[in-house]
Structure formats: C-alpha cells, structure tokens
Structure 1
Amino acid sequence: MHMTLPYPARIALLILAAIIGGYVFTSAAMIFFSAILPMSRTGVLVMTALLSFVVYCAAIIWVFAVRDVGRAWLGLLLPSIPMLVIGIWLTETV
C-alpha cells in the first residue's frame, strides 16, 4: 500500500533529501575519489573540492527530477554506503 503525502510534506522531505542526502552522497563520493585518484595529496584535495560542487549540484537536481521521496532517499544513500566503505578501505590500505 502506497501512502500519499500532502504536497507541502512531500516538498519538505524532498528538500531534506536534497540537503542531507546530497551532502552524505557528496561526502562519500569525495572520500572514494580521493582514494582512487592518482595524484599528489594537494592535487587530490583541489580536485575533490572542485568536484564536490558538481556532484552536490547533480544530487540536488536528481532528487527533484525523481519527485518520489523514497526513491530520492534510497537513490542517494544506497550508493553512498559502498563508496564510503571502499573509499575508507582504500585509504587505510595505502
């Protein structure tokens, strides 16, 4: 059974997904990218800082393109977990 949310509640949850979920996704992606990019530490820092703006903006656009609260949260959090685990694992092994 699919529960329909009132419009203001759905928009509020999408905004939270865009802000919080987008931040979590972007952070996990930057940890992952910093572990796999073959550059100096300074180069990786600059590259991930610049790339984070693109990833966060894309995550926010994606949340509102999906327009379904459950899919928005799952679409951001499910890929974040493997990226975070792999990124931390690669960082620890180097």
Structure 2
Amino acid sequence: MFLFKNYVGEFTFNKPSKLLTNKEWEIVFLIMAGLSEKEIAKKVNRTIRTVKFHKSNILQKNDCTTTREFIMLAKEHKWQFYIPPIFVKIQYIIE
C-alpha cells in the first residue's frame, strides 16, 4: 500500500493484461515513471532504437497515437501501479 496526495493505492506484481510482452511492460513501467527514451534505453541496457520499437508497438497495441494519450489510457486502467519483476529488489532487514 502507498499514499500519494489524497490517493491510497496498491502496487501489483501481476501483469495487468496479456496484451503486451514482458519487455513492453518494462518499457511501460519506465514511461509511467517519467523517463525519457534515452534514460529507458540505459535502464534496460538496450539501444534507443530498440526502445522506440517497443514504444511504437505499445502505442499501436493500445490504439494510441501519442505517448501522452497512452499515459492517460494507462492511468485510467491503473497500469502505473504494476511493477515488473525485473525492477523488484528483495531485501532483508535484520536488526
């Protein structure tokens, strides 16, 4: 659970839909985090060209023509609360 402004939400580790591939969901996560294509490429260790390819597929599969339009759609579906497993770091706190 988390608090953000006046919103209480819950993160999920289950893919919101089977519409996108695992790699595309990773790109969605980073888009929703506000990263640029260059920053995304660095995070996922891919070229900008590859990131643009995935992003183009994401927009096409969701019938969106712009990133802004996709972000609005993603927020409607609450996709910003999905965290791909690759970005989860398990830590143990021992006191």
Greater RCO structure (CA 8 Å; 6+ sep): 1
Higher gyration radius (CA): 1
TM norm. shorter chain > 0.5:
no
TM-score by length of 2: 0.28
TM-score, normalised to structure 1's length? 0.28
